[in-house]
Amino acid sequence: MNPGLNPSVAHNPGSHAFQPEVPWELPREKLIFKKKIGEGSFGEVWRAKVDGILGRRGKEIVAVKLLKDYYTPEEKRCLMKELRVMQTLQPHPNIISLLGCCSVTEPLCIVMEYAANGNLQDVLRKQRYTFLQNDLSNLEKRPKINLTARDLTIFTLHVSSGMQYISSRDLLHRDLAARNVLLDKDLVCKISDFGSARDIVEMREYETSANQKLPLRWMAPESLLSCIYSSHSDVWSFGVFLWEVVTLGSSPYPGMTSEQVMDFVQKGCRMAKPTHCSQSLYTLMTDCWHHFPPSRPSFATIHDRLTTLLEEEGDNMFVDQMSDNAYNILLNQSREKC
Protein backbone atom coordinates (compact mmCIF):
# COMPACT_ATOMS: atom_id res chain seq x y z
CA MET A 1 0.00 0.00 0.00
CA ASN A 2 1.23 3.50 -0.76
CA PRO A 3 2.66 5.54 2.13
CA GLY A 4 -0.01 7.80 3.56
CA LEU A 5 -2.88 5.89 1.95
CA ASN A 6 -4.69 5.08 5.13
CA PRO A 7 -8.28 3.92 5.59
CA SER A 8 -8.36 5.79 8.90
CA VAL A 9 -8.36 9.05 6.95
CA ALA A 10 -12.05 8.38 6.40
CA HIS A 11 -13.67 9.84 9.51
CA ASN A 12 -17.19 9.71 10.89
CA PRO A 13 -19.22 12.94 10.54
CA GLY A 14 -19.64 13.34 14.27
CA SER A 15 -15.90 13.56 14.88
CA HIS A 16 -15.63 17.20 13.76
CA ALA A 17 -15.92 19.93 16.31
CA PHE A 18 -17.81 23.10 15.42
CA GLN A 19 -15.67 25.63 13.58
CA PRO A 20 -16.27 29.37 13.99
CA GLU A 21 -17.32 31.26 10.87
CA VAL A 22 -14.38 32.06 8.60
CA PRO A 23 -14.08 35.44 6.86
CA TRP A 24 -14.03 33.97 3.35
CA GLU A 25 -13.52 37.14 1.28
CA LEU A 26 -10.00 37.34 -0.17
CA PRO A 27 -8.30 40.36 -1.78
CA ARG A 28 -8.08 39.49 -5.48
CA GLU A 29 -4.56 40.91 -5.78
CA LYS A 30 -3.30 38.12 -3.54
CA LEU A 31 -4.06 35.53 -6.24
CA ILE A 32 -1.29 34.74 -8.74
CA PHE A 33 -2.69 32.54 -11.53
CA LYS A 34 -0.26 29.94 -12.87
CA LYS A 35 -1.96 27.36 -15.12
CA LYS A 36 -5.42 26.24 -16.17
CA ILE A 37 -5.89 22.68 -14.88
CA GLY A 38 -9.55 22.00 -15.65
CA GLU A 39 -12.51 23.16 -17.67
CA GLY A 40 -16.25 22.46 -17.63
CA SER A 41 -19.22 23.59 -19.67
CA PHE A 42 -19.08 27.09 -18.21
CA GLY A 43 -16.29 27.18 -15.62
CA GLU A 44 -12.52 26.88 -15.40
CA VAL A 45 -10.18 25.71 -12.65
CA TRP A 46 -6.71 27.25 -12.32
CA ARG A 47 -3.70 26.42 -10.20
CA ALA A 48 -2.66 29.59 -8.41
CA LYS A 49 -0.53 30.89 -5.58
CA VAL A 50 -1.85 32.97 -2.75
CA ASP A 51 -0.09 34.78 0.07
CA GLY A 52 -1.31 34.67 3.66
CA ILE A 53 -4.63 32.91 3.11
CA LEU A 54 -6.71 32.32 6.27
CA GLY A 55 -4.02 34.15 8.21
CA ARG A 56 -1.36 31.56 7.38
CA ARG A 57 2.17 32.71 6.66
CA GLY A 58 3.79 32.43 3.26
CA LYS A 59 2.58 31.53 -0.20
CA GLU A 60 0.81 28.28 -0.96
CA ILE A 61 -0.65 26.58 -4.01
CA VAL A 62 -4.44 26.63 -4.33
CA ALA A 63 -7.09 25.79 -6.92
CA VAL A 64 -9.32 28.61 -8.16
CA LYS A 65 -12.68 28.02 -9.82
CA LEU A 66 -14.16 30.83 -11.89
CA LEU A 67 -16.53 31.45 -14.77
CA LYS A 68 -15.40 31.64 -18.36
CA ASP A 69 -15.23 35.04 -20.08
CA TYR A 70 -18.74 34.73 -21.51
CA TYR A 71 -21.26 33.37 -19.05
CA THR A 72 -24.99 33.55 -18.43
CA PRO A 73 -26.75 34.80 -15.28
CA GLU A 74 -27.79 31.18 -14.63
CA GLU A 75 -24.16 30.01 -14.73
CA LYS A 76 -23.18 32.71 -12.26
CA ARG A 77 -26.08 31.70 -10.02
CA CYS A 78 -24.86 28.09 -10.06
CA LEU A 79 -21.33 29.12 -9.05
CA MET A 80 -22.70 31.30 -6.27
CA LYS A 81 -24.79 28.33 -5.11
CA GLU A 82 -21.70 26.14 -5.05
CA LEU A 83 -19.91 28.75 -2.93
CA ARG A 84 -22.80 28.95 -0.46
CA VAL A 85 -22.93 25.15 -0.14
CA MET A 86 -19.19 24.94 0.54
CA GLN A 87 -19.47 27.68 3.17
CA THR A 88 -21.91 25.51 5.14
CA LEU A 89 -19.55 22.52 5.30
CA GLN A 90 -17.21 22.08 8.23
CA PRO A 91 -13.71 20.75 7.46
CA HIS A 92 -13.72 17.04 6.59
CA PRO A 93 -10.74 14.98 5.39
CA ASN A 94 -12.69 13.56 2.44
CA ILE A 95 -14.24 16.80 1.14
CA ILE A 96 -12.31 19.47 -0.73
CA SER A 97 -11.83 22.50 1.55
CA LEU A 98 -12.98 26.02 0.79
CA LEU A 99 -10.17 28.49 1.52
CA GLY A 100 -11.68 31.75 0.36
CA CYS A 101 -13.50 33.61 -2.38
CA CYS A 102 -13.62 36.83 -4.38
CA SER A 103 -17.32 37.65 -4.57
CA VAL A 104 -17.56 41.41 -4.10
CA THR A 105 -16.29 42.29 -7.58
CA GLU A 106 -16.25 40.42 -10.91
CA PRO A 107 -15.16 37.83 -11.79
CA LEU A 108 -16.45 35.58 -9.03
CA CYS A 109 -13.75 33.16 -7.79
CA ILE A 110 -13.90 30.21 -5.42
CA VAL A 111 -10.52 29.41 -3.83
CA MET A 112 -10.07 25.79 -2.71
CA GLU A 113 -7.35 23.48 -1.53
CA TYR A 114 -5.21 22.10 -4.34
CA ALA A 115 -5.33 18.35 -5.02
CA ALA A 116 -1.93 17.51 -6.49
CA ASN A 117 -2.94 14.20 -8.12
CA GLY A 118 -5.97 15.50 -10.00
CA ASN A 119 -9.31 13.79 -10.42
CA LEU A 120 -9.81 10.10 -9.72
CA GLN A 121 -11.23 9.28 -13.14
CA ASP A 122 -7.98 10.31 -14.84
CA VAL A 123 -5.91 8.46 -12.24
CA LEU A 124 -7.91 5.26 -12.75
CA ARG A 125 -7.68 5.43 -16.53
CA LYS A 126 -3.93 5.90 -16.44
CA GLN A 127 -3.61 3.12 -13.88
CA ARG A 128 -5.27 0.76 -16.33
CA TYR A 129 -2.01 0.59 -18.29
CA THR A 130 -0.10 -0.64 -15.24
CA PHE A 131 -2.65 -3.26 -14.22
CA LEU A 132 -3.05 -4.58 -17.75
CA GLN A 133 0.72 -4.46 -18.49
CA ASN A 134 0.26 -2.49 -21.67
CA ASP A 135 2.99 -0.52 -23.41
CA LEU A 136 4.26 2.20 -21.06
CA SER A 137 6.42 3.96 -23.64
CA ASN A 138 3.86 6.75 -23.86
CA LEU A 139 4.80 9.01 -20.96
CA GLU A 140 1.39 10.70 -20.95
CA LYS A 141 -0.29 7.34 -20.30
CA ARG A 142 2.20 6.21 -17.68
CA PRO A 143 0.72 6.73 -14.19
CA LYS A 144 2.63 8.90 -11.73
CA ILE A 145 1.51 6.61 -8.91
CA ASN A 146 1.16 2.85 -8.65
CA LEU A 147 -1.94 1.56 -6.90
CA THR A 148 -2.96 -1.84 -5.59
CA ALA A 149 -6.43 -3.37 -5.49
CA ARG A 150 -6.47 -2.64 -1.75
CA ASP A 151 -5.74 1.02 -2.44
CA LEU A 152 -8.77 1.16 -4.73
CA THR A 153 -11.01 -0.22 -1.98
CA ILE A 154 -9.63 2.41 0.40
CA PHE A 155 -10.57 5.10 -2.13
CA THR A 156 -14.19 3.92 -2.01
CA LEU A 157 -14.04 4.00 1.80
CA HIS A 158 -12.80 7.62 1.70
CA VAL A 159 -15.66 8.66 -0.58
CA SER A 160 -18.29 6.86 1.50
CA SER A 161 -17.06 8.78 4.54
CA GLY A 162 -17.33 12.11 2.72
CA MET A 163 -20.83 11.26 1.49
CA GLN A 164 -21.84 10.16 4.96
CA TYR A 165 -20.96 13.64 6.21
CA ILE A 166 -22.73 15.37 3.30
CA SER A 167 -25.94 13.40 3.90
CA SER A 168 -25.72 14.14 7.63
CA ARG A 169 -25.92 17.83 6.72
CA ASP A 170 -29.15 17.22 4.77
CA LEU A 171 -27.36 17.99 1.52
CA LEU A 172 -27.58 16.16 -1.80
CA HIS A 173 -24.55 16.10 -4.06
CA ARG A 174 -26.42 14.94 -7.19
CA ASP A 175 -23.28 14.55 -9.31
CA LEU A 176 -21.18 11.95 -7.50
CA ALA A 177 -18.77 10.34 -9.97
CA ALA A 178 -15.06 9.58 -10.22
CA ARG A 179 -14.48 12.78 -12.24
CA ASN A 180 -15.71 14.78 -9.21
CA VAL A 181 -13.42 13.07 -6.69
CA LEU A 182 -9.97 14.61 -6.29
CA LEU A 183 -6.80 12.96 -5.02
CA ASP A 184 -4.37 14.97 -2.89
CA LYS A 185 -0.62 14.53 -2.56
CA ASP A 186 -1.11 11.90 0.18
CA LEU A 187 -3.59 9.95 -2.01
CA VAL A 188 -6.58 10.93 0.09
CA CYS A 189 -9.85 11.15 -1.86
CA LYS A 190 -11.79 14.39 -1.56
CA ILE A 191 -15.28 14.95 -2.95
CA SER A 192 -15.55 18.12 -5.03
CA ASP A 193 -17.82 19.98 -7.45
CA PHE A 194 -20.84 21.08 -5.46
CA GLY A 195 -22.37 23.01 -8.34
CA SER A 196 -25.30 20.59 -8.50
CA ALA A 197 -25.72 20.20 -4.72
CA ARG A 198 -29.08 21.02 -3.15
CA ASP A 199 -30.51 21.28 0.32
CA ILE A 200 -33.15 18.59 0.76
CA VAL A 201 -35.79 21.15 1.79
CA GLU A 202 -35.55 23.02 -1.52
CA MET A 203 -35.70 19.99 -3.80
CA ARG A 204 -39.46 20.36 -4.36
CA GLU A 205 -38.75 23.61 -6.20
CA TYR A 206 -36.09 22.11 -8.43
CA GLU A 207 -36.73 21.69 -12.15
CA THR A 208 -34.23 20.37 -14.66
CA SER A 209 -33.29 22.77 -17.45
CA ALA A 210 -33.80 21.31 -20.90
CA ASN A 211 -30.38 22.60 -21.93
CA GLN A 212 -28.50 21.33 -18.89
CA LYS A 213 -26.17 18.39 -19.36
CA LEU A 214 -27.08 15.67 -16.90
CA PRO A 215 -25.02 12.80 -15.47
CA LEU A 216 -27.45 10.26 -16.93
CA ARG A 217 -25.21 7.22 -16.37
CA TRP A 218 -25.01 7.99 -12.66
CA MET A 219 -28.68 8.85 -12.09
CA ALA A 220 -31.25 6.74 -10.24
CA PRO A 221 -34.45 5.71 -12.05
CA GLU A 222 -36.63 8.09 -9.98
CA SER A 223 -34.30 10.96 -10.95
CA LEU A 224 -34.33 10.01 -14.64
CA LEU A 225 -38.09 9.53 -14.79
CA SER A 226 -39.52 12.04 -12.30
CA CYS A 227 -36.66 14.42 -11.34
CA ILE A 228 -36.88 13.12 -7.76
CA TYR A 229 -33.65 13.44 -5.78
CA SER A 230 -32.82 12.32 -2.26
CA SER A 231 -29.96 10.84 -0.28
CA HIS A 232 -31.15 7.53 -1.78
CA SER A 233 -30.40 8.80 -5.30
CA ASP A 234 -26.90 9.82 -4.14
CA VAL A 235 -26.49 6.22 -2.90
CA TRP A 236 -27.42 4.96 -6.38
CA SER A 237 -24.68 7.21 -7.82
CA PHE A 238 -22.22 5.81 -5.30
CA GLY A 239 -22.97 2.32 -6.63
CA VAL A 240 -22.06 3.53 -10.13
CA PHE A 241 -18.93 5.14 -8.66
CA LEU A 242 -17.96 1.73 -7.22
CA TRP A 243 -18.34 0.24 -10.70
CA GLU A 244 -16.08 3.01 -12.11
CA VAL A 245 -13.37 2.18 -9.58
CA VAL A 246 -13.57 -1.56 -10.21
CA THR A 247 -13.33 -1.06 -14.00
CA LEU A 248 -10.53 1.51 -13.69
CA GLY A 249 -12.43 4.54 -14.90
CA SER A 250 -14.57 3.03 -17.64
CA SER A 251 -17.74 4.75 -18.75
CA PRO A 252 -20.81 3.10 -17.14
CA TYR A 253 -23.13 1.09 -19.38
CA PRO A 254 -20.44 0.57 -22.03
CA GLY A 255 -21.65 0.46 -25.59
CA MET A 256 -25.02 2.08 -24.84
CA THR A 257 -26.28 5.47 -25.95
CA SER A 258 -27.80 7.78 -23.36
CA GLU A 259 -31.30 6.87 -24.56
CA GLN A 260 -30.51 3.16 -24.22
CA VAL A 261 -29.18 3.72 -20.70
CA MET A 262 -32.41 5.42 -19.64
CA ASP A 263 -34.53 2.61 -21.08
CA PHE A 264 -32.24 -0.08 -19.57
CA VAL A 265 -32.42 1.39 -16.05
CA GLN A 266 -36.14 2.13 -16.10
CA LYS A 267 -36.86 -1.48 -17.11
CA GLY A 268 -35.09 -2.66 -13.93
CA CYS A 269 -31.92 -3.91 -15.65
CA ARG A 270 -28.53 -3.48 -13.98
CA MET A 271 -24.90 -3.69 -15.08
CA ALA A 272 -23.45 -7.18 -14.78
CA LYS A 273 -20.72 -8.09 -12.30
CA PRO A 274 -17.24 -7.42 -13.67
CA THR A 275 -15.46 -10.77 -13.76
CA HIS A 276 -12.58 -9.49 -11.63
CA CYS A 277 -14.85 -8.07 -8.89
CA SER A 278 -15.61 -10.02 -5.72
CA GLN A 279 -19.21 -11.09 -5.16
CA SER A 280 -19.32 -9.18 -1.86
CA LEU A 281 -18.39 -5.89 -3.49
CA TYR A 282 -20.80 -6.45 -6.38
CA THR A 283 -23.59 -7.20 -3.90
CA LEU A 284 -22.95 -3.82 -2.32
CA MET A 285 -23.21 -2.21 -5.78
CA THR A 286 -26.53 -3.89 -6.53
CA ASP A 287 -27.87 -2.98 -3.09
CA CYS A 288 -27.13 0.66 -3.99
CA TRP A 289 -29.13 0.07 -7.21
CA HIS A 290 -32.28 -1.23 -5.53
CA HIS A 291 -35.28 0.04 -7.48
CA PHE A 292 -37.13 1.04 -4.26
CA PRO A 293 -35.10 4.01 -2.91
CA PRO A 294 -35.65 3.42 0.86
CA SER A 295 -34.31 -0.13 0.43
CA ARG A 296 -30.88 1.17 -0.56
CA PRO A 297 -28.29 1.24 2.25
CA SER A 298 -27.42 4.49 3.99
CA PHE A 299 -23.93 5.91 3.60
CA ALA A 300 -23.21 4.94 7.22
CA THR A 301 -24.07 1.33 6.35
CA ILE A 302 -22.01 1.51 3.15
CA HIS A 303 -19.03 2.80 5.13
CA ASP A 304 -19.36 -0.05 7.65
CA ARG A 305 -19.66 -2.69 4.94
CA LEU A 306 -16.62 -1.39 3.05
CA THR A 307 -14.64 -1.35 6.30
CA THR A 308 -15.58 -5.00 6.89
CA LEU A 309 -14.67 -5.95 3.32
CA LEU A 310 -11.29 -4.28 3.71
CA GLU A 311 -10.55 -5.87 7.08
CA GLU A 312 -11.96 -9.37 6.59
CA GLU A 313 -11.82 -10.18 2.89
CA GLY A 314 -8.65 -8.41 1.71
CA ASP A 315 -8.66 -7.89 -2.06
CA ASN A 316 -12.07 -7.27 -3.56
CA MET A 317 -10.81 -6.60 -7.06
CA PHE A 318 -8.68 -9.14 -8.88
CA VAL A 319 -7.33 -6.74 -11.44
CA ASP A 320 -4.90 -9.27 -12.89
CA GLN A 321 -7.98 -11.08 -14.21
CA MET A 322 -9.36 -8.00 -15.94
CA SER A 323 -9.61 -8.23 -19.73
CA ASP A 324 -7.78 -5.47 -21.56
CA ASN A 325 -10.77 -4.76 -23.79
CA ALA A 326 -13.74 -5.53 -21.56
CA TYR A 327 -14.49 -1.95 -20.56
CA ASN A 328 -12.52 0.20 -22.97
CA ILE A 329 -15.48 2.07 -24.47
CA LEU A 330 -15.38 5.65 -23.20
CA LEU A 331 -18.37 7.56 -24.52
CA ASN A 332 -18.81 11.31 -24.91
CA GLN A 333 -22.51 11.83 -25.36
CA SER A 334 -23.68 15.39 -26.06
CA ARG A 335 -26.63 15.11 -23.67
CA GLU A 336 -24.74 13.94 -20.61
CA LYS A 337 -21.73 14.45 -18.45
CA CYS A 338 -19.09 11.76 -18.83
Residue positions annotated with a catalytic role: 175
User: Is there a binding annotation on residue 231?
Assistant: no
What is the pairing mode between strands 109-113 and 59-67? Answer: antiparallel
User: Is there a binding annotation on residue 65?
Assistant: yes
User: Is there a binding annotation on residue 41?
Assistant: yes
User: Is there a binding annotation on residue 198?
Assistant: no
User: Is there a binding annotation on residue 40?
Assistant: yes
User: Is there a binding annotation on residue 237?
Assistant: no
The answer to whether the Cα torsion of 290, 245, 300, 190 is positive or negative is negative
User: Is there a binding annotation on residue 14?
Assistant: no
Residue 34: phi and psi, rounded to 5, are -110, -55
User: Is there a binding annotation on residue 193?
Assistant: yes
User: Is there a binding annotation on residue 44?
Assistant: yes
User: Is there a binding annotation on residue 45?
Assistant: yes
User: Is there a binding annotation on residue 42?
Assistant: yes
The full 3-state SS of the chain, as one line of letters, equals CCCCCCHHHCCCHHHCCCCCCCCCECCHHHEEEEEEEEECCCEEEEEEEEECHHHCCCEEEEEEEEECCCCCHHHHHHHHHHHHHHHHCCCCCCECCEEEEECCCCCCEEEEECCCCCEHHHHHHHHHHHHCCCCCCCCCCCCCCCCCHHHHHHHHHHHHHHHHHHHHCCEECCCCCHHHEEECCCCCEEECCCCCCEEHHHHHHCCCCCCCCECHHHCCHHHHHHCCCCHHHHHHHHHHHHHHHHCCCCCCCCCCCHHHHHHHHHCCCCCCCCCCECHHHHHHHHHHCCCCHHHCCCHHHHHHHHHHHHHHHCCCECHHHCCCCCCCCCCCCCCECC
User: Is there a binding annotation on residue 155?
Assistant: no
Binding-site residues for ATP, please?
38-45, 65, 179
Point out the annotated binding site: 38-45, 65, 179-180, 193
Binding residues for Mg(2+): 180, 193
